[in-house]
Structure 1
Amino acid sequence: MPEETTRRPTIAVLGLGEAGSAIAGDLAAAGAVVRGYDPAVPAPEHIVGAGGEAEAADGADLVLSVNSAHDAVGALRAGVAGVRAGAVWADLNTASPGLKRSLDGIARAHGVRFADVAIMAPVPGRGLRTPMLASGDGAAEVAAVLTPLGADVEVLPDGPGAAAARKLLRSVFFKGLAAAVVESLEAARSAGCEGWLRDDITAELTRASAGTVDRLVTGTHRHSVRRAAEMAAAADMLADLGVPPLMASASRDLLERLSAEAAVRFDQTDPGTLGDPSARSDAPGLR
């Protein structure tokens, strides 16, 4: 009996920048036939170069658009005519859920299944093994094609935009945290105590536990009045140090909004405390 051979999947990668080239290289190393196109970057030797998006997509089982949110619509419009019946167009660009739904609409109008794929960690050093979330009609097919090649794809039971939403919600935390650390260390450098603050931040992050999020949320709401005043003072100090207080001012504004909303709720439930901030649990000085 002749040995059964497994058909090598053909995958098109549109966009051969840092992320696209790393993913394409891993796909080729794992045995896939990779067709690539990038108007600014020539395809490396292990990838079959194409003269455009439609040519790259021609005959592919899966098309991975890894260029940019700005170019995502143009790439889809230029390449959708080359997508064969049954193949999936997967958009891996970081974009809003609304844009992902718009891309899905364009794909559907051409009879092409679409997948919203969110890359959930930096690609350099991980390549194809970077964790991904996928949603939309083509999500299961993306996982079916990429997982045997070494990818880590979690399929969400939701429509296009769901994967993008989770990525961006996570970005609010991670990028916001990073920005706060950068701003605070810049101010500490100007104040002459950067080393002390760096050690303090490291200690706080090291002590984080499963209960940290609950404590942060509860404390922020409970002490929003006092903390708003504290962050107003912090923003003034940063300005005096010559550091634009972008994160400090944003924190002050959020805390002021929370304290105003809490005041309205409290006064509505107990009209006898109108105008009496000392009756509120988040009054200055109370912890």
Structure 2
Amino acid sequence: MSSTTVQDPRIAVLGLGEAGRIIAADLVAAGVHVRGYDPRVAAPPGVVGTGSEAEAATGSDLVLSVNSASDAEHALRAGLAGMSPGCLWADLNTASPALKRHLGEIAGASRIDFADVSLMATVPGRGLRTPMLVSGVGAGRYASMLRPLRANVDVLDGPAGLAAERKLLRSVFYKGLAAAVVEALAAARAAGCEDWLRQVIAEELTHADATTLDRLVRGSHRHAVRRTGEMQAAADMLGDLDVPPLIATASRDLLHRLSHGEERGERHVAP
């Protein structure tokens, strides 16, 4: 992957919603010439507003697509009209690895390098210092342009889609955990013991470590049959409390699959 440094890069930001606006503002504060485009949002102070993706991309060394997965392909195809070979397209949207690979193929067909960028934390309060994973043929160049601006970039040696894959694997865990907490607290609120459960959850999270992870995985496999019944009872209780048992029933179904040997996610499960 190329990592040629560009002095005083010209950067375009497509999508000036919350994340794009903050990143664009940080770039401006770092002395970068920034052009922006968003069909629904005016360019913030210091950003040169443009009338289209292609206009924003014209003359840019780097284009940051910060809109949405549903708009990512349209933004790329529209932006290509204003790009010259040597420009780098970076897609910062949360999208599937397959979509990122597809975008990389579209860019490559026009001799444009592509970087798959995953933002690994919320942007507000962090801006350019938001931890980023980046992969694809343009990953090295992306890092070389943004690291001097104090961006927090970790390059993965692999194709487009690899960074997205890492982010979404983390999302299965972290967003799933958040959903379980929300559902459990809703049920506890209905049962009149939300404060108690909040304390229980906080204590579990505070004391969690690597052994906790091992215990969760091994215990789920080893006690899958019993825990299937336990989560069915939990789902029944949530129903009685008028709380939709979405996470509880999903947990029950996963445990049922484990009890039948249908899931092999852990390579070191004791028999």
Which bracket does the TM-score occupy, shorter chain normalised? over 0.9
Q: Tell which deviates more after alignment, 216-225 or 242-251.
A: 216-225
The TM-score normalised by the length of structure 1 is: 0.88
- Aligned amino acid, residue 206 of structure 2: T
1:77 is aligned to 77
- Equivalent residues in 2 for 1:1-287 (5 A)? 7-261=7-261
Asked if the contact 1:117–1:163 (Cα under 8 Å) also holds between the matched residues in 2, the reply is yes
1:266 is aligned to none
Q: Determine the C-alpha separation between the residues in 2 that align with 1:123 and 1:262.
A: 38
Q: Determine the C-alpha separation between the residues in 1 that align with 2:45 and 2:180.
A: 43
What displacement does 1:9 show?
1.3
Q: Tell which deviates more after alignment, 129-138 or 205-214.
A: 205-214
Q: Which runs of 5+ in 1 are unaligned?
A: 1-5, 264-280, 283-287
Asked if the contact 1:35–1:50 (Cα under 8 Å) also holds between the matched residues in 2, the reply is yes
Q: Which runs of 5+ in 2 are unaligned?
A: 1-5, 264-269
Which one has a bigger Cα radius of gyration?
1
Asked if the contact 1:31–1:149 (Cα under 8 Å) also holds between the matched residues in 2, the reply is no
- Aligned amino acid, residue 53 of structure 2: E
SS in 1 for 2:81: helix
What displacement does 1:48 show?
1.0
Q: Determine the C-alpha separation between the residues in 2 that align with 1:123 and 1:225.
A: 42
Asked if the contact 1:91–1:117 (Cα under 8 Å) also holds between the matched residues in 2, the reply is yes
- Aligned amino acid, residue 91 of structure 1: D
Identify which of structures 1 and 2 has the higher relative contact order when contacts are C-alpha pairs closer than 8 Å and 6+ apart: 2
Q: Tell which deviates more after alignment, 74-83 or 254-263.
A: 254-263
CA 1:48–1:252: 2 relative to 1, 3 Å: same
What displacement does 1:262 show?
7.1
Aligned CA-pair RMSD: 1.5
Per-residue displacement from partner, 1:162-206 (whole Å, max 9, x unpaired)? Answer: 000000000001100000000000001111111111111111111
- Aligned amino acid, residue 163 of structure 1: A
Q: Determine the C-alpha separation between the residues in 2 that align with 1:106 and 1:7.
A: 27
Asked if the contact 1:72–1:93 (Cα under 8 Å) also holds between the matched residues in 2, the reply is yes
SS in 2 for 1:39: coil
What displacement does 1:84 show?
2.0
What displacement does 1:211 show?
1.6
Q: Determine the C-alpha separation between the residues in 1 that align with 2:36 and 2:78.
A: 14
- Aligned amino acid, residue 206 of structure 1: T
Asked if the contact 2:85–2:110 (Cα under 8 Å) also holds between the matched residues in 1, the reply is no
- Aligned amino acid, residue 15 of structure 2: G
- Aligned amino acid, residue 9 of structure 1: P
Q: Determine the C-alpha separation between the residues in 1 that align with 2:45 and 2:191.
A: 52
The TM-score normalised by the length of structure 2 is: 0.93
Runs of 4+ in 1 over 6 A off after TM superposition: none
What displacement does 1:45 show?
2.3
Asked if the contact 2:235–2:245 (Cα under 8 Å) also holds between the matched residues in 1, the reply is yes
- Aligned amino acid, residue 151 of structure 2: A
Asked if the contact 2:117–2:134 (Cα under 8 Å) also holds between the matched residues in 1, the reply is yes
Q: Determine the C-alpha separation between the residues in 1 that align with 2:198 and 2:175.
A: 18
- Aligned amino acid, residue 16 of structure 2: L
What displacement does 1:7 show?
4.1
What displacement does 1:210 show?
2.3
**Matched residues, number:** 260
